[in-house]
Chains A and B, each alone.
Chain A
Amino acid sequence: MVGPSIRIKPAGESSKASTVDGGETSHRLIGFLLSQPQSTMNRLYQKPSSCLSIFRLLQPLERQVVMNLLWLETPIPGATMAAWVTREGKRPYQEALSTLQSLHILPQQSTRPGPPQSVKHNLNPTFKASLRQAITGGGTSGSFGILAENDDKHPAPDIEALDAFALERWETILYYMVSSGTGQFPAKPSQGVLYLLQRSGLMATVHGATLQITSAGFQFLLHPPHEQLWELLLQYLQMAEERQMDLVEVLSFLLMLSTTELGKVGIHTIQFIAQVTQALPHAQSYSTENLSATQKAMLEDLRDYGLIRQRTATSRKFSPTRLATTLTSSSPPLPTSAGTGDGSHVQGFIVLETNYRLYAYTDNPLQIAVLNLFVTLKYRFPNLVVGQITRDSVKKALANGITADQIISYLITHAHPQMRKNKPLLPVTVQDQIRLWELERNRVKSQEGYLYTAFASHADYEWVLDYAKKLGVVLWENPSKRCFFGSVEGHMNIRGYIERRSAGNA
């Protein structure tokens, strides 16, 4: 009498609210670090550059707590610290303390119950020593990267060349993603990148060999570059563990890169450092000497992502690009993303009118391809693409797993300076309509569950239904047909109840 019947895939998984707002949410890397064991973190904290970079990724309040404790030699009573916190700050302050404890920057408090006054705060000694060293300078860690010798034969590339290189690499990856499955065959990124994309679930193989972009991949395309970069790097970090690479070395190399500088020329090895060199308007090269084997292996991967540039694969020098140097800041990681390169492109290129017509001043294939995800493109001119946002085009995007909010936030971030004069920035009609189209799609809500039918008598039906109602698992009922639909969670209980009843009746 019990039969599992309807099985519908849980809906709404792909529409998980992506946190687009900057600032308030903690950085992606911090989330990753939170899950690392204390020993890993302690090893990471041995490098001043790692400490500095992690410190920068913390929330403002957490940074202030660290700074308050940094120069104290003895632990400070918790009550003294808490006295500085205002009434509104109590909750954020407690949260900041617990985040710092999870990061092992503050040692874990013992769980024994006691008055909160007895708690004393002190920084993790390794972290304290390293961050102090980072701020005051000195030491012999060499963790901020050793500059490469200025070489007349192969001068370091200038910043423009580096930017172009980073942009080219990055856009190759994105363009490959966006045009997969459209029948075009753009330049393929390297095997390592493809593997990474596949591992991160941004692309998946369908029909055997060809890689296809997934709905996660579509969402990824609309993220700002900084988030995209970290998404890939976090995946890389997770992969590193499987590839038997030392996570600490991988992380500290990435964090070291984030403290390196664009735009200077330096020198080669320690003994040259005392000498004074002449600064040229070229980009910075760093020496690969005293990198560990793991880190040397990473160079190749990072070159594929466009984070660093090497003249040849065996070169003993590398130059970090803007993608690398802005890892821990919020300044834009990529230079202008358009071919023509005049100032207006930095700002944005999209003009959207109330009649759903969209003008995009760009000739960049990647941007056009991304727009093509949710716009029906009509005309194309040398520097302009014209299209229309239609119900069909938006529904196609929604079917790909892109949400209305992502479309709107993409349009806002890339709006043309002319659009900035409007308040609100995007025409309200268009914004609302895109949201309505999304709601249209979500009119039908699906839930997994079991349908209970074929009850012998109405009394039986009522008994079971009452029991299910008490559990609160009834989703739908129809007394005239003597059937009801219950959610998955209640199934075991209902089934047991029915079995007990039929056993009792027999």
Chain B
Amino acid sequence: MPAAMPAAFQAVTIDYLAVLPMFVVVGGALVGVLVEAFAPRERRHAVQVWLTCGTLLAALVVLAVWSRDHQSVTLGGSVAIDGVALFLQGTLLLLAVIGVLVMAERFGGVGSDAFTPMGASTPGSSQEDAATRAGYATSEVFPLTLFAVFGMLIFVSANDLITLFVGLEVLSLPLYVMTGLARRRRLLSQEAALKYFLLGAFSSAFFLFGAALLFGYAGSSDLAQISQAISTGAGDLDGLLLPGVVLTLVGLLFKVGAVPFHQWTPDAYQGAPTPVTGFMAACTKLAAFGAILRLTYVGVGANRWDWQLGVAVIAILTMVVGAVLSVTQTDVKRLLAYSSVAHAGFILVGVLAFSQAAIGGVMFYLLAYGATTIAAFAIVAMVRQDGSEASHLSQWAGLGRRHPVVAGVFAFLLLAFAGIPLTSGFTAKFAAFAPAVESGTTGVVMVVVGVLASAVTAFVYVKLIVLMYFTDPVEGVVALQPSVPSTIAISLGVIITVVAGVAPATILQLAGNASQFLL
């Protein structure tokens, strides 16, 4: 453990192999920026897609081959590459590959179909038309994605509050931009981006303030030292501890979309380009839960009796509000947004169990939910009426008759969201709920609320299945033929959903083995 305040300058030892995946990703992002500057316009899309996927896969290989054997607290104590960090980073990279493949979908156009040719042009202006005619494409989204992934990789391994904050900002800023880049319904998209940015800035401020209070209490921003200060009672200013914990948690709960900090979720999910929505829903949620796990288990777990009940109330509210409001939605993306709120509540139930099994269960949940979500949003992006996304529920009527495969896959993914056995959703729910039941009465109460909320959300998903299968088709709604990348992405999502439902033992074992924090 390095000293908190070194008297003289000491060179920080860095275990490069432990953090190499992060370097690979940020390096790929920087190369991506150069590609934007120098590659000819017509080749940019292909180059960026290959580069981005290659970078993410390379990082994944590095992680699996080298970083795995270099578990350590490194970079001067600011980054902990332990089992939890490795599992979450690996999952992030995998999900990011799937997400990028979905973003790459062109549907026969020049650039990515989901993104506006020129983000800076006024919606509906002649400038926008000119950009379209000139064949512009926003291939910047790929380096932006890599930067966001870099931030997420930091976020799940950050071992002190400052690094955590840096990760938070690095992952958020590219996402704000990407949210505003939708090709269609651009005003909605820009509004969503602004809303996301403003609320995100607020939550960052909350987090920072909380971090400052915790520093004031413990005299260090290092999570391990904060934990030590709490357990030895060494802190001088006891009154700073609880506000500090609450404010940092608010900042993180905002990112996962927990009630009452969820208001941005439906708007951002609806306005963002659909592939970005899928990426955000899967990866941001994963990163934020990774950070919550580390903060609560490593950092401030010692005084959890002071705040645990409050977070339990938040978890219950999140499940209930997410489930109930999803019933009234008429837009597929908003519906999935509220369902993601409900899922955040389910995951929080697992987090609050405070056991090693809970860590494994939560990590499994994040993997399963992420894969299902990206695939689901990829399908949402395929269903069109008159060229634009048919996101209104009424437009999904009878899809099962016209496009049995697309509707069948989507129905399967919905059943996974609903948590029907033999899909990943059920295993994941079990993995998150079982430790909660074991943890005691509060846990049992949360689980009971959780299963009732599941029943409500199941109604929503089944309603959608009814719509697709049992009603007459709407004229003009078609599911576009996906290209190879997004077919691969959807297949991966479905495969993970099946495997994690039917034969989850291997993944659970992996998550279980990795569920140990390094202090």
Q: Do A and B bind each other?
A: no
Q: Residues of B with Cβ closer than 8 Å to A? A: none
Q: Residues of A with Cβ closer than 8 Å to B? A: none
